[in-house]
């Protein structure tokens, strides 16, 4: 009797079907997870490198247009952008190209910060961002942060806490950021010789600017008691002969309400101000508060200073050798100010409770990122930065450091 043959089912189509189903399921789950993590339109790339494992301030700028997210952090429609910094609206030729350069530290990454995660993490927090020690360069950074946050959280209340020049609360998160304008940190104002005479008058001084090295300017004096996080800066006004002419309107320093005799030059005055202001902040800062001091933002005037026809027409970042040529202390060039100021800052901050936010080196390369002729001034603006632009990267560094400090304090 013949045994009936069992009909064989070809294995290849079946295996192929199973493989296809597995791949489809994996892709589906992956896409679902990706979408669930996509809490806002801005592209966020989390870093796997702990901030302390490499020097984030040392690296190079990579032109990476392909990595530019389809939806940017913010655009030229953010109303808080000062007109002179809105390079896109002012039609600066490389304005759209400036944000496509990415800072790549050696041996690790500096990712763009996640604005939604930031708002969630610092809910019910007062952040005095970019000011209270702050000249207009800290406002530059403040505006960058505000515009990035407002793009993902539009319910904002405008107000000016404790002397701030600008301030906003993101109502959904009860998070406040503010900018306190101050040029020297210390209180200063016009001084004229008294008819009754005095020590300065006896030395031949007739007018100038009185700088009280031990008295904070009123615009930020109450900030340490209000804010949970503060970012200070000072520097540009200390080397400003157009404002503090050493002959016609010199800086005259006072301590304990008395003139410092013999009179001291501005660099020594800066040391005294830093000493007093650091102690002032540390004594009055809120419990568990975090304080930063941002290093000096470099200028990029070529062919002379701002009032001597200097310009910044470059359209790409500088090469390392060009950076050294422009900023080396040995060359004592037009833009040497940033490294000079930093020497004073690092010395003063060495044994303090301040965290240093070092943005100088990465910024020295970016001669291309200033408003230049699009700044709306009679001269080229080679000091401030276009927005969107470099100060977005400053905020990436700031928030990465801030999160790291918060994690350390929690442990």
Q: What is the pLDDT of residue 67?
A: 63
Has residue 242 got a pLDDT over 80?
Answer: no
Q: Which of 68-72, 172-176, 317-321 has the lowest mean pLDDT?
A: 68-72
Give the contacts of 223 (CB within 8 A, at least 6 positions apart).
128, 132, 162, 163, 164, 178, 180, 230
Cα–Cα distance for residue pair 287/409, rounded to 1 Å? 12
Q: What is the pLDDT of residue 66?
A: 77
Q: Which of 132-136, 291-295, 364-368, 374-378 has the lowest mean pLDDT?
A: 132-136
- What percentage of the chain reaches a pLDDT higher than 70? 84
Give the contacts of 293 (CB within 8 A, at least 6 positions apart).
133, 231, 232, 233, 345, 349, 354, 355, 356, 357
What is the DSSP track for 209-278?
EEEEEEEE-TTTTTGGGT-SEEEE---GGGG-TTTS-TTTS-EEEEETTEE-SS---HHHHHHHHHHHHH
Cα–Cα distance for residue pair 404/410, rounded to 1 Å? 10
Cis omega (within 30 of 0) for bond into 387: no
Give the contacts of 269 (CB within 8 A, at least 6 positions apart).
211, 213, 238, 251, 253
Return the closest-CA partner of residue 190 out of 257, 251, 101. Answer: 251
Q: Which residue has the higher pLDDT, 377 or 339?
A: 339
Q: What is the pLDDT of residue 52?
A: 55
Give the contacts of 346 (CB within 8 A, at least 6 positions apart).
356
Cα–Cα distance for residue pair 217/220, rounded to 1 Å? 6
pLDDT tens across 308-357, in order?
889 999 999 999 999 999 999 999 888 999 999 999 999 999 999 999 99
Angle between helices 390-410 and 136-150 (to 10 degrees): 80
The rounded radius of gyration (Å) of the Cα atoms in the chain is 27
Strands ordered across the beta sheet of 207-216: 186-192, 207-216, 251-255, 258-259
* Identity of the highest mean pLDDT range in 17-31, 159-173, 226-240, 249-263: 249-263
Looking at every residue in the chain, the average pLDDT score rounds to 86
Q: How far apart are the first and last CA of the chain?
A: 82
**CA-to-CA dists, residue 3 to 6, 7, 37, angstroms:** 9, 12, 60
pLDDT tens across 189-213, in order?
999 999 999 999 999 999 999 999 9
Cα–Cα distance for residue pair 329/24, rounded to 1 Å? 61
Burial of 217 (0-12, 13-18, 19+ CB in 10 A): buried
Please give the model's pTM, rounded to 2 decimal places.
0.86
Angle between helices 337-349 and 266-284 (to 10 degrees): 40
Return the closest-CA partner of residue 45 out of 121, 111, 115. Answer: 111
Cα–Cα distance for residue pair 247/203, rounded to 1 Å? 13
Over range 8-30, report the average pLDDT: 42
Has residue 124 got a pLDDT over 90?
Answer: no
Q: What is the pLDDT of residue 62?
A: 96
Q: Which of 45-59, 123-137, 366-380, 389-403 has the lowest mean pLDDT?
A: 45-59
373-384 in b/e form (b: 16+ CB < 10 A) is: bbbeeebbbbbb
- Local confidence band at 45 (pLDDT 50, 70, 90 cut-offs): very low
Burial of 403 (0-12, 13-18, 19+ CB in 10 A): middle
Has residue 303 got a pLDDT over 80?
Answer: yes
Grouping H, G, I as helix, E, B as strand and the rest as coil, residue 188 is: strand
Has residue 132 got a pLDDT over 50?
Answer: no
Has residue 25 got a pLDDT over 60?
Answer: no
Q: What is the pLDDT of residue 71?
A: 63
What domains can be seen in the chain, in order of their start residue?
74-185+220-241+275-410 (3.40.50.1110)
**CA-to-CA dists, residue 33 to 20, 30, 69, 115, 121, angstroms:** 20, 5, 19, 19, 21
Has residue 43 got a pLDDT over 60?
Answer: no
Has residue 358 got a pLDDT over 90?
Answer: yes
Q: Kindly report the backbone phi and psi dihedral angles of residue 168, in degrees, each rounded to the nearest multiple of 5, phi listed first.
A: -145, 140
**What does the block give as tokens for 153?**
């959280």
Q: What is the pLDDT of residue 370?
A: 98
Burial of 404 (0-12, 13-18, 19+ CB in 10 A): middle
- Local confidence band at 69 (pLDDT 50, 70, 90 cut-offs): low
Cα–Cα distance for residue pair 277/216, rounded to 1 Å? 7
CA 334 to chain centre: 23
- Local confidence band at 19 (pLDDT 50, 70, 90 cut-offs): very low
């Amino acid at each position: 009797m013949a045994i009936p043959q069992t009909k064989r089912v070809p294995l290849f189509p079946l295996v192929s079907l199973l493989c296809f189903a597995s791949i489809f399921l994996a892709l589906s789950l992956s896409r679902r997870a990706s979408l669930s993590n996509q809490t806002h339109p801005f592209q966020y790339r989390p870093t796997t490198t702990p901030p302390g494992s490499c020097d984030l301030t040392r690296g190079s700028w990579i032109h990476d247009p392909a990595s530019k997210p389809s939806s940017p952090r913010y655009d030229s429609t953010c109303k808080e952008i000062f007109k002179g910094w809105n390079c896109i609206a002012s039609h600066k030729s490389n304005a759209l190209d400036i944000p496509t350069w990415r800072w790549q530290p050696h041996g690790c990454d500096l990712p763009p910060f996640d604005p939604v995660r930031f708002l969630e993490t610092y809910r019910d927090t007062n952040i005095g961002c970019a000011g209270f020690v702050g000249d207009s360069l800290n406002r530059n950074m403040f505006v960058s942060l505000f515009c990035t946050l407002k793009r993902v959280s539009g319910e904002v209340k405008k107000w000016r806490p404790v002397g701030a020049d600008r301030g906003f609360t993101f109502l959904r998160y009860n998070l406040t950021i503010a900018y306190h304008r101050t040029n020297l940190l210390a209180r200063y104002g016009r001084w004229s010789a008294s008819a009754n005479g005095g020590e300065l008058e006896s030395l031949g001084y007739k007018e100038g600017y009185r700088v009280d090295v031990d008295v904070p300017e009123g615009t930020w004096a109450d900030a340490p008691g209000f804010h949970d996080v503060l970012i200070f800066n000072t520097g540009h006004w200390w080397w400003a002969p157009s404002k503090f002419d050493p002959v016609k309107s010199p800086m005259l320093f006072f301590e304990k309400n008395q003139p410092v005799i013999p009179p001291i030059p501005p660099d020594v005055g800066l040391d005294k101000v830093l000493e007093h202001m650091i102690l002032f902040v540390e004594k009055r800062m809120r419990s568990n508060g975090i304080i930063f001091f941002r290093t000096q933002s470099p200028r990029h005037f070529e062919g002379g200073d701002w009032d001597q026809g200097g310009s910044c027409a470059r359209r790409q970042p500088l090469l390392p050798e060009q950076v050294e040529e422009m900023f080396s202390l040995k060359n004592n060039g037009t833009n040497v100010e940033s490294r000079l100021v930093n020497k004073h800052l690092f010395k003063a901050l060495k044994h303090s409770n301040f965290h240093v936010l070092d943005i100088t080196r990465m910024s020295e390369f970016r001669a291309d990122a200033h408003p230049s002729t699009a700044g709306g001034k009679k001269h080229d603006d080679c000091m401030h930065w276009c927005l969107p632009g470099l100060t977005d990267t400053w905020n990436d560094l700031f928030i990465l450091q801030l999160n790291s400090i918060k994690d350390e304090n929690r442990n």
